[in-house]
Amino acid sequence: MERLTTPAEDGFYFPAEFAPIDQVWLAWPERSDNWRDGAKPAQQTFARIANAIASVTPVRVAVSAQQWVNARAQLDEKVELVEMAYNDAWMRDIGPTVLVDGKGQRRGVSWRFNAWGGEFNGLYADWLADDQVAAKVCQHIGIEHYQAPFVLEGGSIHSDGEGTLYTTEECLLSPGRNPQLSKAQLEQHLADYLGIRKVIWLPNGLYNDETDGHVDNILHVIAPGKVVLSWTDDPNDPQYSLSRLAEQALKAQTDAMGRTIEIIRLPLPGPLYYSEQEASGVDASQGMVRDAGERLSASYANFLIVNQHVFLPLLDDKVDQQAVAILQSALPSYTIVGIPAREVLLGGGNIHCISQQIPAPYVLAK
């Protein structure tokens, strides 16, 4: 059922990813104009990721009727399949952002979705099915939802669960999202629909990110007042200046609780690029660039936190273990689960982008 009030009015807020998680949702990839070789390599990787998460918390995977048998054969028997229509498999962006009220209740938010830019620079022309996924997921879980009156994707926001929201100007202020809204109006919408008190804006996301710079590819909130930031020390890398601008923005302000933000630099893999073989396996399309030699928007920050576990994409043999070590040092009580994830990267994102956590309906201690 759709609510006609706002979450903030009703006392709901966006919890952190490191808060207790009840379940995780993914969607099964099949678009041949995004996933190479008929999506078969991507499906194997998605299955590996879903099965790994399922060892920690219940996993549900949206799947088309045509792919049901194939998905069932590759996914662990613990993973529940849910037949559903969608246009592509980015559950972070098409699924609901689920809020809690600290009293044991949950409600979802369905954002308007327009394929990362609509007619201005969207990645595909038909996104109608995607735009209906969030409400369907909420219905399946058995929670009410709010329909937000503006365009947003789940990958463009990170929360510390204590009133602070992190995002990028590059994405939320891009002409393809909400050109009718000012920055101040957007901040008010974010406060209304996420129950947050302060927005921390980074100027840009990761270099060459076709989502117009989603925050989840450059930064991840790992504890209150503590973030990891994608980083390179190569002055010839176009990401060099972007990461430094992001760090300056984070250092220039405090979070909603007045804390100085602790920044942990997380090295980038690569640089990584599409190979001839990888690019040739994708059906040509107007919106998505999949050319040999194209820079991949690769990042270790695009991980998923689930109940004291970090599901981390492994992308570069030369850097993987350094990234694992940095995260293990920053999160000593967490289990770091590395999963080879280049096939997800080839589609334009990574483990965080293809997953959407549903928080547990916990009650705040008095």
Burial class (CB in 10 A: 0-12, 13-18, 19+), 156: buried
Task: Please give the C-alpha separations between residue 37 and each of 32, 144, 237, 239, 277, in angstroms, as whole numbers.
Answer: 7, 39, 31, 30, 10
Sort strands 304-306 and 262-267 into parallel, antiparallel or unpaired.
unpaired
How is 45-106 classified by DSSP, letter by letter? HHHHHHHHHHTTS-EEEEE-GGGHHHHHHHS-TTSEEEE---SSS-HHHHS-EEEE-SBS-E
Q: Is 246 helix (H, G, I), strand (E, B) or coil?
A: helix
The residues assigned a catalytic role are 353
Alpha helices, DSSP H only, in the chain?
Answer: 40-54, 68-74, 91-94, 118-121, 133-141, 169-172, 183-194, 239-251, 276-280, 320-330, 342-346
Contacts of 33 (CB under 8 A, 6+ apart): 124, 282, 283, 284, 285, 288
Q: Tokens 């129950």 identify what position? A: 195
Total residues found in the chain within this entry: 366
